[in-house]
Chains A and B, each alone.
Chain A
């Protein structure tokens, strides 16, 4: 296939990938860097590498590759900067969803707060695999490939996290 035929197809695919995965990648990168700007940079770099390696990536399922690269870039940045920045108030405000109805707003806030509480109960390694499994829908194998751990270790981490969250998750909402 020559490049002229490939470009529109590839561009469309890239747009879809960005649209589908940018929010989850940002959340994931933020959980690793603790800094919104650093997370955005890590995600940008992951997309940039995606562009450059598009021909070598499984187009049907780019998520594992993207999360792997994003993780590496986020960790690079976190190490490099080696500091946690306090989020400015205006940035915290921007985290809320735009203008839902009042009831939905209250419910949404409670749900968001609960998600934060749940994740806060977990040690970092468990938190990361739980996110990848239950938020991003990656399989154990894919998580192992993203985090560089063995599949069985991923299994143990998820099992322990599920046990740790038992009381909270079995309580009636």
Chain B
């Protein structure tokens, strides 16, 4: 036992902190040594005095009384530009979430009120999981049928978390709350309709992503926002929602600016002008939505500087939302046109800025992963967009470095592999390289498509997997259709795909082409016939079927003409 330890034990003994044999041993030592006994007395004296002194420390005042709450609108419309792929460059996603109003007067219980407050605060700072926990406690303390406000917040969180069914159900239930009950006003009713509009917009985005845009959902969103305006003509968020709906209605899945329906831009601009003309300031979240819509309009008009400015405004107001962040980065990268030399040089000059941007996202994420979970997706998007652009501009190392970083953020998505494959495919077709290099790049593309297909399998994306496998199967054959080695490779690959995806029109079409090049005319004709028949039974839209038929007719005609 060292002197130090003995010393602390004497203090502990003096304060009554020792127990059992240890206490007895130290007490015995004190009893045998008068100087130790005096020290113990001194310690007890100091302890009493210290306790008295510390009791006088000023108290922290309780939180000041809250100002009466006004109905506030909590969020959002957002466009997220996703990284480029061969056939699509950017996607829009929007989420408008409900307005939350409060009538706290009837809610006296401190802890329940605190729970609801915390839920609101966590929700406002995007800590949805924690907000949900707090809200659950609040709702357990008071039934939702008795008090609609927590249900309104719950609906908002559901929508933000992507539980659209739950969110919609809650909003539908809230539609039955009568004005004047529990302080429920027309503004609250408007909030409910804004929330419903957001649900429909999200559903529309999902339908768009699945390749089957459902225009009815946009109409429902428009109607909901209109209903919100009917209930509260000062509901600016409804106008902003209408602008987002208009921009989506005009979006036809095209990848480059200028393809959006000009009428849609005009309608959206008019809605936003009405918001300005109202002379009222939307809530912070509403403003973010507004800037996001304005940014989108500027983007569509190819005013990239203006778009970047609007997105920057949005992200300065809501730094924890990923979409403004990601869109600023996307505008900085402008990767869809980065293959032109001037853009690429501009991008290279900005590389440090991109790095700082990603670093900022990363440090925010590291500081609080729960709060900034959404930034993983943002970092992924930014790195993917920038990486693709650099690589497409023949800065392969820099580009792939970014793409690998993207992979580290979202390894379960096939997009990075698809983009890498796309880059290699692009190189394999580029005159910048010798033929042997082109073949080498094509093989690299095959490898990346293979990896993408594996990720698609594990993430249950069969259609994407099919397309990856198809690309892999035909890239070399497409370069040298008359080369028997590549014909054989393509045949083997296509047969393997056919086992997994029987009766796929595109597969049968390609099989027919390989047969034709091999001189197997009968087989080719049969495969093409099967392709047309399969297309009729496939879930393709009528328009797609007609287009496919037209293409097949041309193929058959070319074959007949010996082309």
Contacts and interface: CB of A to CB of B under 8 A. Distances in A.
Contacts of A135: 51, 54-55, 57
A8 to B, nearest CB: 12
A18 interface: yes
Contacts of B55: 115, 135
A166 B46 contact: yes
A145 interface: no
A33 to B, nearest CB: 11
B364 to A, nearest CB: 10
Contacts of A52: 133, 137
A95 B58 contact: yes
A159 interface: yes
* Listed residue (A30, A51, A131, A135) with the most chain B CB atoms within 10 angstroms of its CB: A51
Contact of A48 (B10, B50, B134): B134
Interface in B37-64: 42-43, 45-47, 49-51, 53-63
Interface in A13-70: 14-15, 18, 22-23, 26-27, 30, 36, 39-40, 44-45, 47-48, 51-52
Nearest to A95: B58
A36 B60 contact: yes
A48 B120 CA distance: 13
B109 interface: yes
A156 interface: yes
A21 B50 CA distance: 20
A15 B111 CA distance: 8
B17 A155 contact: yes
Contacts of A111: 53, 56
Contacts of B56: 108, 111-112, 114-115
Given A52-B137, A139-B17, A119 B57 contact: yes
Contacts of B47: 134, 162
Interface string A107-142: 010011011101100000000001101110001100
B362 to A, nearest CB: 16
B487 interface: no
A169 interface: yes
Nearest to A98: B61
Interface string B161-200: 0000000000000000000000000000000000000000
A112 B56 CA distance: 5
B58 A97 contact: yes
Contacts of B17: 139-140, 155
A84 interface: no
Interface string A72-99: 0000000110000000000000111100
A112 to B, nearest CB: 5
Nearest to B63: A40
Given A14-B111, A162-B46, A152 B8 contact: yes
A22 to B, nearest CB: 7
Given A18-B110, A44-B114, A170-B45, A134 B58 contact: no
B368 interface: yes
Contacts, number: 123
B118 A48 contact: yes
B59 A97 contact: yes
Interface residues of B, number: 41
B57 A116 contact: yes
A158 interface: yes
Interface string B357-393: 0000000000110000000000000000000000000
B62 A115 contact: no
Contacts of A47: 111, 114
Contacts of A15: 110-111
A159 B2 CA distance: 14
Nearest to B49: A169
A11 interface: yes
A158 B11 contact: yes
Contact of B50 (A51, A112, A116, A134): A134
A158 B111 CA distance: 35
Given A47-B114, A48-B134, A118-B53, A162 B60 contact: no
A165 interface: yes
Interface string B1-42: 000110111111001010000000000000000000000001
Contacts of B42: 166, 170
A156 to B, nearest CB: 5
Contacts of A40: 60, 63
A13 B7 CA distance: 41
A159 B61 contact: no
Interface of B: 4-5, 7-12, 15, 17, 42-43, 45-47, 49-51, 53-63, 109-111, 114-115, 117-118, 133-134, 137, 367-368
Given A27-B57, A47-B111, 4 more contacts: A52-B133, A116-B58, A130-B54, A152-B5
Pairs of residues from A and B, 5 with the lowest C-beta to C-beta distance, nearest first: A111-B56, A159-B8, A26-B60, A115-B57, A159-B11
